[in-house]
Structure 1
């Protein structure tokens, strides 16, 4: 089967952020997505998509030239959602999980696609109180997309570690920094996939899944990074939703730079177990986790700093016109992640309910 790759302008950017809607006083989930859609301006409606739960919406930016431009759309959309919520008693929040909501509070949006997923995945989907951040980078041709995909496989833990924001679930401290990651991995087509030597290898796998009725489209593949032929992009999907707009811009800028770098370098391939271990280290320890590459291990935060320096040395950030912004954002790797700050606060006062405030977007 031929899976046509529609070329995109090289290294353009799009961001998707899944937003919780929570009560402004109790911080419980608020089934208010219909209110957002009913009261949104025409501009906001163009950016909004319904999602799995009736207590969430997804903000999807247009195709942008830079990460900074894409994040500006997210900021404006969140501001309007918050303004709507002032009149109806809810507030937007962005964490990888809701801190204390129970699965009994889940109500699935009544779309055929979501109802079919519920029928297929049963109890797994009934505990999907999870929220993600997805980033698309445009590529001009399919083999270039394969290179970017393979390179991203190796770096997934770095993006995850910067974004971790889900250490609490069902009102309990999980001991992890990204419990969302472990929930999502329960699905059969989620998590870390495999390297592809060529676009035809990707087409072959897609064809097997499609012809045997396991998927209906590329939307039914939920890998941590996936090629999206219809958009002409490679899509990063491993990240927790995050309320820090600078952090989102940093992740997007780093991803864009790695995709650019991959176009003229060869990606080293690692055993699947190494990829999984690296991801686990980010899931468990966030930026303090260990990252294995080229026969040695370093702290995840240190590895990110090394990559930024390499991108600078090669003038990649300058060519992408993100060098000045990265100078302002790069200290993020020396700060605690959202999950680390949440855990620190929890150990101090044990007030789980108040931790939902970490998701509020200023």
Structure 2
């Protein structure tokens, strides 16, 4: 069997905020998207809500290439938004945005979804990061698809950026998933023995008129309907580019690690989806403070220790991809916390300094703008503060 390409593509969804008030831009000017589209040539698209915008990298061969692409995409969106008094934030929820104040984008696909899902999709004021890894062989792709589910809670725990919902602390590090779980065809994916079994299952829904195609299957991990890739969708989006790139590197390395195991007639042990869903909940609730169940040892292990094990597990793959620094960065996330931890600290610090709850939440938005724009050119960064 030919070695997979393990090419990489990353999609990020941003919220657009008013630089002065910190509030969501519920009706951004149409000219803004036109400006972005002209500059990014097919690498930007509207999202379901008007206050959102999505970017996607070209197909990348290295982590350095993916990093440069994402930095350019973030910088361009920031550049184009600035004249309108707006900025993107790479966070999975807005600290105080109200979903009832938002309107969905007038696009055929989104109009159909809005009519079908009603209030469930109206509440979808959330953003994520999706990572595609190229695995051309059908048999290998679905074998890895079944095994990778085990690692999805680990990826989630390292990504949390949605501790607030409509101005309230949720007690979760990734409230985004709680909102997303209301949608059908979400959550951990089913397991399939091969590509044909998957396609036959999807065909049942298409033939009966439930779905137009597999793009309306929104699992945490899915085979792409358009490309020979596996698409990891469980993670929150990370304001700090270094964090997002580290998670993309980990997913890519896990794909290669499992492919190496298969070449040696080995595979990761299947675990009950019910048990993995408990790890998913622990990650959603606690982030890097979570203790996930190690099923082989029959005990809960702190994320800090699990990250050390992951780094060791994919060391050979990080060497092969030249992404040792990105994988090592996971240790920093585990030790210092994710965006959710920083947002909560900023909020509590602002309250202790005498700020009102609303001003404390606005301080969180300002921090998110700062972190998201940290990859932009200095003059843009300075003028957006």
CA contact (8 A) 1:95 1:166 kept: yes
How many Å separate the matches in 1 of 2:209 and 2:201?
Answer: 13
Q: Given the alignment, which residue of 57, 62, 86 partners 1:61?
A: 57
Deviation at 1:356, TM superposition (A): 1.8
Aligned to 1:15: 10
Q: Given the alignment, which residue of 36, 40, 47 partners 1:40?
A: 36
CA contact (8 A) 1:27 1:353 kept: yes
How many Å separate the matches in 2 of 1:64 and 1:127?
Answer: 33
Aligned to 2:212: 216
Aligned to 1:163: 159
Aligned to 1:303: 306
Of stretches 342-351 and 118-127 in structure 1, the one that deviates more from structure 2 is 342-351
CA contact (8 A) 1:150 1:267 kept: no
CA contact (8 A) 2:173 2:341 kept: yes
Residues 186-205 of structure 1: matches in 2 within 5 Å? 186-205=182-201
CA contact (8 A) 1:37 1:45 kept: no
Q: Are residues 1:123 and 2:119 paired? A: yes
Q: Are residues 1:26 and 2:41 paired? A: no
Aligned to 1:339: 340
Q: Normalising by structure 2, what TM-score?
A: 0.87
Task: Specify the SS of the correspondent of 1:308.
Answer: helix
Q: Are residues 1:153 and 2:149 paired? A: yes
How many Å separate the matches in 1 of 2:88 and 2:13?
Answer: 10
Deviation at 1:292, TM superposition (A): 1.4
Relative to structure 1, the CA distance from residue 274 to residue 358 in structure 2 (aligned partners, 3 Å threshold; closer, same or farther) is farther
CA contact (8 A) 1:71 1:248 kept: no
CA contact (8 A) 1:98 1:168 kept: yes
CA contact (8 A) 1:250 1:330 kept: no
Relative to structure 1, the CA distance from residue 283 to residue 325 in structure 2 (aligned partners, 3 Å threshold; closer, same or farther) is closer
Deviation at 1:9, TM superposition (A): 5.6
Structure 2 segments unaligned to the other structure (5+ residues): 262-266, 352-356, 375-385
Relative to structure 1, the CA distance from residue 63 to residue 328 in structure 2 (aligned partners, 3 Å threshold; closer, same or farther) is same
How many Å separate the matches in 2 of 1:200 and 1:330?
Answer: 39
How many Å separate the matches in 1 of 2:143 and 2:321?
Answer: 18
Of stretches 222-231 and 318-327 in structure 1, the one that deviates more from structure 2 is 318-327
Aligned to 2:286: 285
Task: Specify the SS of the correspondent of 2:183.
Answer: coil
Q: Are residues 1:271 and 2:280 paired? A: no
Deviation at 1:101, TM superposition (A): 1.2
Deviation at 1:353, TM superposition (A): 2.7
Task: Specify the SS of the correspondent of 1:238.
Answer: coil
Q: Given the alignment, which residue of 203, 221, 241 partners 1:245?
A: 241
Relative to structure 1, the CA distance from residue 328 to residue 184 in structure 2 (aligned partners, 3 Å threshold; closer, same or farther) is closer
Task: Specify the SS of the correspondent of 2:106.
Answer: coil
How many Å separate the matches in 1 of 2:219 and 2:3?
Answer: 21
How many Å separate the matches in 2 of 1:10 and 1:98?
Answer: 37
Aligned to 2:109: 113
Deviation at 1:157, TM superposition (A): 1.0
Relative to structure 1, the CA distance from residue 301 to residue 217 in structure 2 (aligned partners, 3 Å threshold; closer, same or farther) is farther
Of stretches 126-135 and 320-329 in structure 1, the one that deviates more from structure 2 is 320-329
How many Å separate the matches in 1 of 2:186 and 2:9?
Answer: 21
CA contact (8 A) 1:147 1:267 kept: no
Aligned to 2:96: 100
Aligned to 1:79: 75
How many Å separate the matches in 1 of 2:289 and 2:325?
Answer: 26
Deviation at 1:19, TM superposition (A): 0.8
How many Å separate the matches in 1 of 2:328 and 2:41?
Answer: 34
Aligned to 1:356: 365
Of stretches 169-178 and 143-152 in structure 1, the one that deviates more from structure 2 is 143-152
Deviation at 1:77, TM superposition (A): 1.6
Deviation at 1:325, TM superposition (A): 4.2
User: Which whole-Å deviations, capped at 9, do the CAs of 1:4-57 have from their partners, x for residues lacking one?
Assistant: xxx996211000000111000101111326333222374413310111011111
Deviation at 1:358, TM superposition (A): 3.4
Q: Normalising by structure 1, what TM-score?
A: 0.93
Q: Given the alignment, which residue of 48, 51, 69 partners 1:52?
A: 48
Q: Give the alignment's Cα RMSD to 1 decimal.
A: 1.8
CA contact (8 A) 1:34 1:54 kept: no
Total equivalences in the alignment: 354
Of stretches 247-256 and 265-274 in structure 1, the one that deviates more from structure 2 is 265-274
Task: Specify the SS of the correspondent of 2:233.
Answer: strand
